[in-house]
Amino acid sequence: MTPQDLDRLLQENFADWVRALDPEVMEASPDHVLVRMPLTDKLARVGGIVSGQALAALADTTMVLSAVAHAGVFKPFATTDLHTQFLRPGVGSAILCRANVVRAGKALVFARAEMSEENSGKLVATATATFFAP
């Protein structure tokens, strides 16, 4: 699947509030997906840093897209578990989220993600998730 394929799936299948994060698929392969989320005032919390809720949504979305790219076809994956670790305040122009599938079974897919500041490259958060594959 190409970045354009995954961007189209985002527009057609994800909730309005997820699309409001303005995610853009930069890279897509069966091995990983890279998504860019621009940092705007609407995503900032007290102190001008990106909110944890936005980071968790970015991680979940990117890991779902990684599961789709790994499968090679769209499936309506359902999140069954999401764990996010916030490591440092996220600032700058955008957050980059790189996700990959750790293991894909018949019913469950396990994925991980790393989120970093676009400008500095500093790691902001990591996440792991499990998805049910119908």
CATH number at residue 68: 3.10.129.10
Return the pLDDT at 94: 97
DSSP H or E segment with residue 104: strand 94-104
pTM of the model: 0.95
Across the range 117-130, mean pLDDT stands at 97
Work out how many domains the chain is built from and give that number. 1
The tens digit of pLDDT for each residue in 64-109 reads: 999 999 999 999 999 999 999 999 999 999 999 999 999 999 999 9
Token pair, residue 9, equals 């799936």
Helices (H) and strands (E) in the chain, counts: 3, 6
Give the mean pLDDT of the chain: 96
Return the pLDDT at 134: 82
Token pair, residue 91, equals 């600032």
Across the range 109-132, mean pLDDT stands at 97
Which domain, by its residues, includes 63?
3-132
Roughly how many angstroms between the first and final C-alpha of the chain, as a whole number? Answer: 19
Sheet order of strands, 24-28 included:
24-28, 33-38, 94-104, 108-117, 123-132, 78-86
Q: What is the DSSP letter of 49?
A: P
Amino acid at 50: V
Let me know if 93 is exposed, middle or buried by CB neighbors in 10 A (0-12, 13-18, 19+): exposed
The tens digit of pLDDT for each residue in 24-67 reads: 999 999 999 999 999 998 999 888 899 999 999 999 999 999 99
Return the pLDDT at 63: 98
Q: What are phi and psi of 47, to 5 degrees?
A: 95, -5
Return the pLDDT at 46: 86
Vertex 43, ends 66 and 9: CA angle to 5°? 30
Return the pLDDT at 48: 84
